[in-house]
Structure 1
Amino acid sequence: MKLSSLKVGVDVPWVTSWTGEPSLGAGPCPSVDGALAILQADNPGQGKPLYSQNHAVRQRLSVHDMLCPMCGQPTGPNDRWTQVAHPVAAGRLRETGRGDRLPGDLSDDSTLIDAGAIAPLHRACVDRSLRYCPHLKADPHIDVRRFPDRWIVLPLMARAEAPPQLFLARPTPARSAAVIGFLQLCGLTGERDAAWRHPS
């Protein structure tokens, strides 16, 4: 497959899948500390970019290691921004079946910033992507905010046989036939508890 002239991390977000990166099924993955997860070939720049599809492993690494999904470099605690700052109550996540891994003592009325499967970006990368990405330019729900310094990571489960491009639309509930697809990121905005603080 031909190497693209588009530059990964500049012309195409680092987290984007390419046609030269097929699904490899499920297996232990370091992006989730060895848990079973969907695996995918790692050939960024091979073929054509699939702008609407995150690469399964790079997406999880971006959340696990706080790597900017645009450039792939680490974000520091003073330069973490979200473009999709959706405030959501902890109780709402629990009602929709996505809150089973929230701390039990996190009250239902606690507000979280649901960034979905999109890790924080550097401010310069936010500005670049908003300037050049037609999807972001057309999205009326873009809400750029500094990402909180405390967060919770929630696994989005998928059937082991599901191709990676289907995870985000309808993650399946956790059960024995499911493996980790992507990671969902929720920033904590109100109550403080050392047990929720993720190491920076």
Structure 2
Amino acid sequence: MNDVAKSRLKVGLDVPWVTSWSGEAVLGVGPCASVGGRLAVRQAERPGFGRPNYSRNHLRRQRLTVARMLCPMCGEPTPEDDRWLQTARRTTAGILRARSFAAALPPALGDDRVVVDAGAIAPCHLACAGRAAAHCPHLQAHTSGELIAFPYAWIVLPLMVRAGPTHVLDSTARPASAVSFLQLCGITTETDRAWRSRAPLTSADS
């Protein structure tokens, strides 16, 4: 891995801070501070070496953007009044529950509450939004150009994977669940009384 050349592209300017590079190999599973010491999929840290993989976020940097509200473009913290999403969609808590997120959502959150499903993309600064759209081909293909203001309340939904003994760095003999990415969901103050008409059909409905 040491023979991977350093790119002329600048991290945080030409390439989003959160983007994974070809010089950053996935290392396996082990405790990670990005999720409070829980088991997580780990990856080498060599931003700027090799080629940027715009369609793939670096595992640890992605988790940090969500856990610490860091701008995925520049890597700096975002203040409450300057958090913007480019690929998010508005939905309801009930629809998310119907899509297998029931265990991760607080029971007190009503099914009709409007939420902003950001996926695995943390909000960025307004000043960084234009730069991200200009420099990230993957983002260009998955955004309408509309910016959505991120709400003041949110929940984090860990995306888990199963890791066998050969992937666990501390040689644990049993398979373990590990965090891959952190998914982000903003909670608005709005409700949608007609949310059931937009909910996906389940096997019980068919």
TM-score (norm 1): 0.83
RMSD (CA atoms) = 1.5
Within-5 A mapping of 1:6-85 = 6-85=9-88
The residue type equivalent to 1:179 in the other structure is A
Within-5 A mapping of 1:1-200 = 1-139=4-142, 141-160=144-163, 177-190=176-189
Partner of 1:170: none
Question: Partners of 2:58 and 2:49 in 1: how far apart?
Answer: 13
The share of aligned pairs that are identical, in percent, is 56
Give the superposition deviation at 1:132.
Answer: 3.5
Give the superposition deviation at 1:140.
Answer: 5.1
Partner of 1:194: none
Task: Count the aligned residue pairs.
Answer: 177
Structure 1: 5+ residue stretches without partners: 162-175, 192-200
Larger Rg belongs to: 2
Range that drifts further, 176-185 or 14-23: 176-185
- Residues 132 and 16 (structure 1), Cα distance of their counterparts in 2 relative to 1, 3 Å cut: closer
Give the superposition deviation at 1:158.
Answer: 1.6
Residues 26 and 179 of structure 1 are in contact (CA less than 8 Å); yes or no, is this contact kept in structure 2?
yes
Range that drifts further, 128-137 or 8-17: 128-137
Q: Deviations over 1:56-109 (max 9, x none)?
A: 000000000000000101111111111123112111111111231211110111
SS at match of 1:84: coil
SS at match of 2:79: coil
Structure 2: 5+ residue stretches without partners: 165-174, 191-206
Question: Partners of 1:138 and 1:71 in 2: how far apart?
Answer: 20
Q: Deviations over 1:15-66 (max 9, x none)?
A: 0111111111111111011111101111101111111110000000000000
Residues 116 and 184 of structure 1 are in contact (CA less than 8 Å); yes or no, is this contact kept in structure 2?
yes
Question: Partners of 2:54 and 2:137 in 1: how far apart?
Answer: 11
- Residues 90 and 57 (structure 1), Cα distance of their counterparts in 2 relative to 1, 3 Å cut: same
Question: Partners of 1:81 and 1:136 in 2: how far apart?
Answer: 14
Question: Partners of 1:137 and 1:41 in 2: how far apart?
Answer: 27
Residues 85 and 143 of structure 1 are in contact (CA less than 8 Å); yes or no, is this contact kept in structure 2?
no
